[in-house]
Amino acid sequence: MKRILFLFMIFAFSLSVKGQKSDEVGIMLGGSYYIGDLNPTAHFSSLTRPAGGVVFRHNFNLRFALAASALFGSVQGIDARSSSYQQQQRNLSFRSSIYELACRGEFNFIEYKIGDEKHAFTPFMFLGVAVFNFNPKASFGSQWIALQPLKTEGQSKAYRKTQISVPFGAGVRINLSKRIGLVAEWGMRKTFTDYLDDVSTVYADPAQLKADNGAISAAVADRSTTGGSNIGLQRGNPRNKDWYSFAGLTITFQLADKPKHCSAY
């Protein structure tokens, strides 16, 4: 992970050319959601949850910037709300908090600077690397039960809850005043796990789950409405990894530029 971050920062600095430098801090408010086995295609649906965070941005010039962010949101999936009859029969659900630390390079399609009337608006795009933490839970009685320790698909080893993702996306920036700007953006995160929702492969033997991980593991692993045994039948699709998204508005405040020294003295 450290090597990836180092190489990414070297790449971002190599994009820099001479120009006015300035730093910004910002507060983001928006929403988060996920794409996976319990929500295969729906973007910005009723499953979207509130999200927020803070951003620090270093502008190398009017085109290129490097940003670091700490974002928090949550994601959920509910088979019962799906239009797919197969999902309704599977009848699984989950929710999970998402904590993300990210570093990303940004490119403005038009030269932009907060407080500059000649460069007051631009669309932009970004690409980076992030570390995120998740913890899927399911409702069980009056409680929300953490699913990872239960190994609901009979895994020999529990999946890691802290992993790497690749954030990418686009948005627009616009000046609001001399030192304040507004950013609207939408970004997807490519992950390398299929367990953001705790659903990936096939149904395990409930008797074995009960013996290995307890009765709750067997109870939350199979909530299908079909009746009969589902052992070995498809529970999820391991070929498609899960995704999550942050989208929202960020109010950014430009920090004071470094004072220029007059060469005449």
Say which CATH number the domain at 21 has.
2.40.160.20
Kindly state the greatest CA–CA separation across the chain: 88
Token readout for 240 is 């498609």
As a whole number of angstroms, the distance between CA 69 and CA 94 comes to 26
Q: Is the pLDDT of residue 232 over 70?
A: yes
Local structure of residue 110 (DSSP, 8 states): S
Q: Is the pLDDT of residue 123 over 80?
A: yes
Within a domain: residue 265? Answer: no
User: What's the whole-number mean pLDDT along residues 149-160?
Assistant: 96
Within a domain: residue 22? Answer: yes
Within a domain: residue 181? Answer: yes
| Cβ atoms of 179 and 145 closer than 8 Å | no
Q: Is the pLDDT of residue 24 over 90?
A: yes
Within a domain: residue 261? Answer: no
User: What's the whole-number mean pLDDT along residues 231-259?
Assistant: 91
Q: What was the pLDDT predicted at 10?
A: 53
As a whole number of angstroms, the distance between CA 48 and CA 46 comes to 5
If you count them, how many residues does the chain have? 265
As a whole number of angstroms, the distance between CA 250 and CA 70 comes to 13
Q: Is the pLDDT of residue 260 over 80?
A: no
Within a domain: residue 264? Answer: no
Average pLDDT, the chain: 91
Residues in CB range of 141: below 8 A, 6 or more apart: none
Q: Exposure of 229 by Cβ count < 10 A (0-12 exposed, 13-18 middle, 19+ buried)?
A: exposed
Within a domain: residue 260? Answer: no
Per-residue pLDDT of 46-86, as tens digits, reads: 999 999 999 999 999 999 999 999 999 999 999 999 999 99
Distances (CA, A) of 243 to 33, 157, 159, 191: 9, 22, 16, 6
Q: What was the pLDDT predicted at 257?
A: 61
Q: Number of folded domains in the chain?
A: 1
Token readout for 202 is 């096939």
Q: What was the pLDDT predicted at 259?
A: 56
Sequence-ordered alpha helix ranges (H) in 147-249: 206-213, 215-221
User: The whole model's pTM is what?
Assistant: 0.87
| Cβ atoms of 161 and 133 closer than 8 Å | yes
pLDDT confidence tier of residue 228, bands split at 50, 70 and 90: confident
Containing structural domain, residue 177:
2-254
Q: What was the pLDDT predicted at 6?
A: 55
Q: Please, what is the end-to-end C-alpha distance for the chain in angstroms?
A: 47
Closest CA to 102 of 71, 133, 135: 71
Within a domain: residue 86? Answer: yes
Q: Is the pLDDT of residue 18 over 50?
A: no
Q: What was the pLDDT predicted at 15?
A: 42
Local structure of residue 178 (DSSP, 8 states): S
Q: Is the pLDDT of residue 143 over 70?
A: yes
Q: Is the pLDDT of residue 212 over 90?
A: yes
| Cβ atoms of 171 and 183 closer than 8 Å | yes
Local structure of residue 256 (DSSP, 8 states): P
| Cβ atoms of 26 and 250 closer than 8 Å | yes
Within a domain: residue 100? Answer: yes
